Every structure is written in C-alpha cells, then in structure tokens.
Structure 1
Amino acid sequence: MNLSTTNEMPASTAATRDSSRTYAWVVFALMFCLLLSDYMSRQALNAFFPILKVQWQMSDTHLGSISSVVPLTVGILTLPFSIFADRWGRVKSIALMVALWSVATLGCAIASNYEEMLVARFFVGVGEAAYGSVGIAIIVNIFPKHMRSGIAGGFTSAAAFGSVLGVSLSGIVATHFGWRWSMGVMAIFGFVLLIVYCCVVTEKRLERAHLEDVAPVTYGSAKLTLRALIAGIFPSRSVFCAYLGCALQVFIQGTLFVWLPSYLNRYWGMSVSQAALTAAGLVLVSGVGQLMCGVITDRISGGSSLKRWNMAIAYCLALGALLTIAFQVPQGTLQLVLLAFAVFFLASSFGTCSPIIANATSSAIHGSVFATLTLFNNILGLAAGPFLTGAAADAVGLKVALHCLPLLAVLPFIMFIVGRRFSLAETSRSRLEQAMLSRNGKSQASDV
C-alpha cells in the first residue's frame, strides 16, 4: 500500500471554506448597508432644519431637541438592549430594530407638528439603540481574528458615509419634492434592506460560516453579577478617562454635523440643498480622517497604550487649533478649507480610545464595554452637543455659538492628559506587583 502526504486540503473542505468566506462578505455588506440606513434615518432631518424652522415656527432649541432625542435614546438603551440581544438572539434582535426604526422614520414623514416629530424621533432612537454594538458582534464572529481591526473599521465607517448620504440626499429630495418625501425615502430604504436581511441572514447559516479560530456564540451563557459586570467595564481610572474623553470630543462632532447646514444657510446665503451638500462633504472628510487617524495611530503606536494616549492628545490639540483658526477667518474658501482640515481630526478619538479600552478590559464582555462607550458618546456627545448649542444659539445666535465651540476642545484634551497620567501610574503599579510576585515565587522555591 502506497502512503503519501500532501498539503492540499480536500476539495469539499476548500469549497466549504470558500462558501463560508463568500457568505461572510455578503453578511458584512448587509450589516454595512443597515448601518448606512441607521445613520441616514438619523441625520436626514438636519438638512431641512431651515424649512421646519419657518414652516412650524420652531426655535433653535426645538430643532436641537428633535435631533438630540435620537442619540439620547440610543445612549440610554444601548447597554440593556445589547445584553438582551446577546441572550435572545442577535439576528432576531437586529430584524426587530430595523423594522422599528424604519416605521418610526415613516412616522417622521407624516408628523404634523413638533410634538409628533419628537415622538417619532424618539422611536427612531429606540430602534437604533443597539444596532452598532450588536451588528459588529455578528460580523467579528464570522471573520478570522487577524481581520477584525479592518472589518470593525470598515463597518463603523458606514456611520460617516450614512450621515453624508442622509444629509445630502435629504436636502436634494426636500428641495424638489418636499421634506416629507425625504423621510419617506429613508424609510423605504430601511424596509428594502429588512426584507433582504431576513432572507439572507439566519442563525443556522451564521453557525455554518463560523470559523475555527473564533469562539462560538452561546446565547444566555454569560451570567455575571451586576457588580462584576460594572467592575469589568470600569477596571481602572484611565479607562474611565478614555470613555469620558472620547465622549467630550464627540460633543464637538455631534454639534458640527447637526448645525453646519443651518450655519451655511443662514450666514453664507446657501440654499438648503447647497448647504446640505457642503456639510455632507465635510462629514465625508471626517469619515476619511477617522479611518486614516486609526491607521496612523496603529503604525506609530504598535501595541503601546501610552503612545495611543499621546496620539489622542495630539489629534485633539490639532482639532482645537484648526477649528479656532477656521472660525476666526472671514467667510469664504479659506474658511471652508480650514474647516476641512479641522474635521479630519474630528472623529479621531474612536481610533485611539477604542483600542485603549479594549486592551484594558476582558474580551468576554467587549459587547457590554463598547455599548458603554456608545452610551457615553451618545448622551454626553451626540445628544448634549446639538441641544446645548441650539439653546446657546437662541440666546446669542448660531454664529457666536459655533465660534465658541473650539474652546470646548480643551475638555477632552485635559481628560486625555489625565488619562495618560493614570495609565502610567497603573502600568508602574502593575509592574511592581509582578516583580514582587516573581520575587516571592523565587524565595519560596529557594526555601523548598
């Protein structure tokens, strides 16, 4: 009998792996498109603020509130909804969420006053509450571990692109067909994706696409006490500073994304569609900057959390300085160019704070950890920013309110410096404890 060895895998195994890889990319594309729909439904309203202000005689505080209610609701519900999805089933939970935010977006299209719009926007937030954390939890389990950074970065970039599409498409549709049709188009897009998702993504097919180097998902298996969960989410003071610093920088991001179309319309004399397209271009620059800042941080920092803190401080300093200069120069091309350079660093905290938090927490609870980061970013950033800026605009004018915005970059800057100091102290303490344990171990060995 002839015995031989070969490096070639059986044809059936290779075919199965190719099929699983193809299915994984199909799921990724659907998850990406659903996040596009998520942010299109969330940001579309910002494009026709000028129309609603005149049509419904709304104050800037009212406009800010109907924008802020979505991220506020997301921030409050993201953690409990993420825990529920992990236990009940992620595929079913996402289908329910998409259906809810699409119906609520349709409700925005038929709202007849501020109160009805506020209620509809609240349910948009309920539907979108945990999609980001649950969606990424699905895709990281069907791709190899060495691809997770790229997959996660590609998935979350849909937020910026969805914001661009939502604002720009909404402005164009509102100009030609009315603002109600803008929200209707967003709702239809969500319903179409929901039908495709339900036909393509199932628990059984995801299980067949499961990879050997990724831990399987078992719903309802994790039963941590509340105290243990909180301790795992907040293991140190430096991690808390990363949560808070990221949210304070997102405050600036949320404010600019919401109020730039109105600023360009009121003070530059742009039409609603022109202002929406210009603001969308700046949001797109922010999305590219988010990706590039993450790549640059990885190349410079490697595996060093201390260097990531340094990068967070540098990016925040650049953001504050460029925004200050941009709002001081006269309106014109130079101001737009400077704003573009500034917003390049607008979302840089995602690429610095997320790895810092992930490296300091257990991978077993990363779903809850990133849901907590989402909570901070939405409540203290995306919700607080537009609302407080709207209130300030009613008091002193939108132009003055935005011109004061760069001063707030001092807050995340300080938080990153404090977090870096805590991180250094925690690292030194950890090394000292390890040295003492090693010394005690050697002492016990010599006694034996």
Structure 2
Amino acid sequence: MATSNSVDIKAWIDQRPVGRYQWLILGLCFFIVLFDGVDVAVMGFIAPAVMQDWALSKAAFGPVMSAAMFGLAAGALLAGPFADRIGRKKVLLLAVTLFAVLSLACAFARNPYELAILRFFTGIGLGAAMPNTTTLLSEYLPQRLRSVLITVMFTGFNLGSGAGGFVAAWLLKHYDWHAVLLVGGLLPLALLPALWLWLPESARFLVVRRAPDEQVAKLMRPLGGVFPAGTRFTSEEPAIARRLPLATLFNERYRLGTWALWATYFMGLMVIYLLMGWLPTLMRDAGIAVDEAARTTGLFQIGGAVGALLVGWLMDRHQANRVISLAYLGGALFIAVLGLIGLGSSALTLVVMLAGFCMSGAQTGLNAYAPGYYPTEARATGVSWMLGIGRFGAIFGSIIGGVVLGLGMGMDLLFITLALPAVIASLAILVNARAARRLSAHGPVTTV
C-alpha cells in the first residue's frame, strides 16, 4: 500500500486519527451547509407573510415556492461534472458567492415574478454547494468514521433549517419578511473569506487528475504527514474507462445502484419539502400564530439533526443501507401519526420532532452513504446527480402541496398519503444494497 517513496492516499488517511486540519475542513463545510439550510427553508417560513403582503393565494404562491427547487436541481446537475473536472473548491466558492448575493437580491423583489426568478438563480448556487461539500469532506476522512462525520456536517443543514425558523419568527415579529432574506444572504457572504483562505482542494481529486506530487504533498502535510521530496501519491481504486463522469453512473457496474439512489432521494425530499414548505401555512389556517408555526416547523429539522447523528453512528457499525431503510420506515410511521392527531394536538411538537428525527436522519444518512458508491473520478457527479434528480421530488412536493391545499383536502388524508413515499424510499435503498453486493462480487467496491 505504501513504500518509502509511494503513498496510497486513501490508505494513509484511513490509518490515521482525525486531526485538527480535518476538523477545520469539517467546520468550514458545516457552515456552508448551515447557511444552505437556512436559505433553502426560508420561503416556507416567510410564505404566510409574503402571501398576505402581496395578497396571493396558496396556488399562486406555489411557483415562488418551487422556483428555488428547480434551481437546486439545475445547480446539482451542473456542478458535479464540473467539480470532477476543475475541482471541488472552485465550484464551492462560486456556489456560495452565488447564493449569498442572490439571497440579498431577493429581499428587494417587488413582485412574485421577480422573486421567483431570483429564487431560481439562488437555487442554482444552493444546489451546487451541497454535493461538493459532501464529496470534498468524504475524501479527507478515514473510512471507519466517514458516515458519522459526514452526518455531523449535515446536521448543519438541519440546524440551519431549524434555527432559521426561530430567527424568522423573531424577525417577522419585529420587522418583516424582507429582513429574513437579508440575514440569509449576509451570513454566507461573511463566510467567504474563510473559505478562500482555509478550504483546501481535494488531495484525492488531484491524485486521480495526475497533479504534481509536491502539490498533493502540500495539502497532505497539514494532516500530520512527513513526505520527503520524490514521494509519489497513488489512489488504488477499481479502474474505470476514460469517459465522461456521467457515463460511469450508467455503466453495467453502477447502473442499478444509481437508479436506486435516485428513487430514494426523490421520495425522501418530496416528503421533507412538502412538510417544511407548507406546514407553517397549514398551521396558520388552523388558527396558530405565524411565529409559532415557524418555530414548530423548525423543530422538524432540529429533530433531524439529532436523528442524523444517530443514523450516521449506526451506519459506521452496521449495514448502512438497512439503517437508512429503517429510518425511512420510522419517518413514514410518525408522518401518518401527524395526520391522525391533527394540528391542534398537544403532542404536535413531539410528533413533528420525531418525524424529522427519522426522515431527515435517513436523508442525511443517504448523503453520507452515496459518495462511497462511486469512484473518485465520478464521485462528485454521482453525488450531485443523486441530489439533482432528488430535487425534482422537492419540486413535486412544493407544487402538489399548493394544489392539494387549494382543493381543501383533509389533513388526515394528506399526511397518511404522504407516508407512502417514505415507504418507497425505504425499499429503494435496499435495492441499492443489492447493487453494492453485485459490485463486491465483481471486484473491490470503491469506498471513500
């Protein structure tokens, strides 16, 4: 695996403890994902106030809610192939700049048409950031701790979405919805200097791209290594044909697992975004104050942050696909219960937290699992396309939510029906487990 002048970069990282430099990378990625979570969820928190301010119906506001979802899908689909060609850091810096600046611009939108257009382009930045934080961090972590530490990073998304509800509630009470969007843009803008200075490029990406060994050594030394001049860095992974990264996702080795990951992510996001996007509006219609509705919805993601940590911890100790599958099943159960108890129940906040615990825990676990299914040369593409295709589930959830609520469907039927996609997600990730076993039977499975 390694000699005095040859170092297998993955094996070297796997054999060492997690050091301060890796914690710095995790922290920077955590804050990217935190602010991503704030911005993705923000429209759900301010939707009642915007609709009241502009005298919009739920159906009319649906396109505004879904505009960012289309942008998220486009950003993810575009960013992965670029990151597998030009690097993870460059794409991340561009993505954070884009969603920060455009979130500020959204605060000055004069009508729903302007807001929808600006939210679409904001979504492109948001969609490009998420998969590249996952890919970059995964390539700096030892395999034995990969799942739990990636889920630690992804708790930033849950905490950002959840804390955003509390911040939005306070700002809506003292100012208006414009202030919420301003804060959502200023926070990631303030993070950019730290990303320029301290966020590294992926050393494993540079190895497979045959960058000079000294450039790789410069990135590896802060991890605690001593690499004399002449050290060669290698990456022992299953060979793939030289082709576009996207083609790798559909070759005979990866095709089945790719489809299964897409189906799982699609169904999971459809459920999560319908709940986050429309639960505040449902609660307001039930006579609950706007600020209280925002806080309760925020608890869904707070519960998800705790669930993600547990799911990640279990994934590193048990069969990862089964852990994710069981979490989705738990989410289906609590979503169905949410519909049965009604929005006026005293148990509402507890059930919302438990639904978030399972659903967001499973979804975050899937983010941690996916990078290990693909080789380095196609990893960013594999992760970003899973997220991009999955975003269409979020779009579908946002649109159908506005339509269904406009028809006056009962909440019990709505939530019970909503549990079904979570069951499908639970089954689909087990199909990926079968695909992973087939990969193992035909040679070594690529692991992060």
TM-score norm. by structure 2 comes to 0.78
Q: Distance in 2 between matches of 1:351 and 1:122?
A: 24
Which position in structure 2 is the counterpart of 1:376?
389
Q: Distance in 2 between matches of 1:145 and 1:317?
A: 27
8 Å Cα contact 1:249-1:409 kept in structure 2 = no
The 3 A distance-change label for structure 1 pair 168 and 215 is farther
Which position in structure 1 is the counterpart of 2:186?
188
8 Å Cα contact 1:286-1:346 kept in structure 2 = yes
Write out per-residue CA displacement over residues 210-245 of structure 1, whole angstroms, 9 at most, x where no aligned residue.
Answer: 6769968xxxx9952467423259724354233202
Which position in structure 1 is the counterpart of 2:352?
339
Q: Distance in 1 between matches of 2:253 and 2:175?
A: 49
The 3 A distance-change label for structure 1 pair 98 and 245 is closer
TM-score norm. by structure 1 comes to 0.78
Shift of 1:418: 6.4
The 3 A distance-change label for structure 1 pair 222 and 270 is farther
1:293 corresponds to 2:311: yes
8 Å Cα contact 2:260-2:428 kept in structure 1 = yes
Which position in structure 1 is the counterpart of 2:363?
350
8 Å Cα contact 1:243-1:353 kept in structure 2 = no
Please, which of 35, 39, 46 is the counterpart of residue 48 of structure 1?
Answer: 46
RMSD over aligned CA atoms reads 3.4
The 3 A distance-change label for structure 1 pair 405 and 65 is farther
Aligned residue runs from structure 1 range 141-152, under 5 A: 141-152=139-150
Secondary structure at the counterpart of residue 129 of structure 1: helix
8 Å Cα contact 2:70-2:392 kept in structure 1 = yes
Which position in structure 2 is the counterpart of 1:111?
109
Unpaired runs of at least 5, structure 1: 1-17, 435-448
Q: Which moved more, 1:122-131 or 1:108-117?
A: 122-131
Please, which of 376, 384, 388 is the counterpart of residue 400 of structure 2?
Answer: 388
Shift of 1:167: 2.3
Shift of 1:262: 1.7
1:31 corresponds to 2:43: no
Q: Distance in 2 between matches of 1:75 and 1:69?
A: 10
Shift of 1:56: 0.7
8 Å Cα contact 1:170-1:182 kept in structure 2 = yes
Please, which of 98, 102, 120 is the counterpart of residue 122 of structure 1?
Answer: 120
Q: Distance in 2 between matches of 1:59 and 1:357?
A: 39
Q: Distance in 2 between matches of 1:105 and 1:418?
A: 35
Amino acid in the other structure paired with 1:229: T
Q: Distance in 2 between matches of 1:96 and 1:39?
A: 17
Shift of 1:168: 1.9
Unpaired runs of at least 5, structure 2: 1-15, 202-214, 228-232, 444-448
Which position in structure 2 is the counterpart of 1:409?
419
Q: Distance in 1 between matches of 2:368 and 2:192?
A: 31
Which position in structure 1 is the counterpart of 2:72?
74
Amino acid in the other structure paired with 1:43: A
Secondary structure at the counterpart of residue 385 of structure 2: helix
Write out per-residue CA displacement over residues 123-175 of structure 1, whole angstroms, 9 at most, x where no aligned residue.
Answer: 11121222112223333344444432232111122110110122221221122
Amino acid in the other structure paired with 1:344: F
Amino acid in the other structure paired with 2:150: A
8 Å Cα contact 1:248-1:411 kept in structure 2 = yes
The 3 A distance-change label for structure 1 pair 232 and 193 is farther
Structure showing the higher helix proportion among its residues: 1
Q: Give the aligned length.
A: 401
Shift of 1:298: 4.2
Q: Which moved more, 1:315-324 or 1:245-254?
A: 315-324
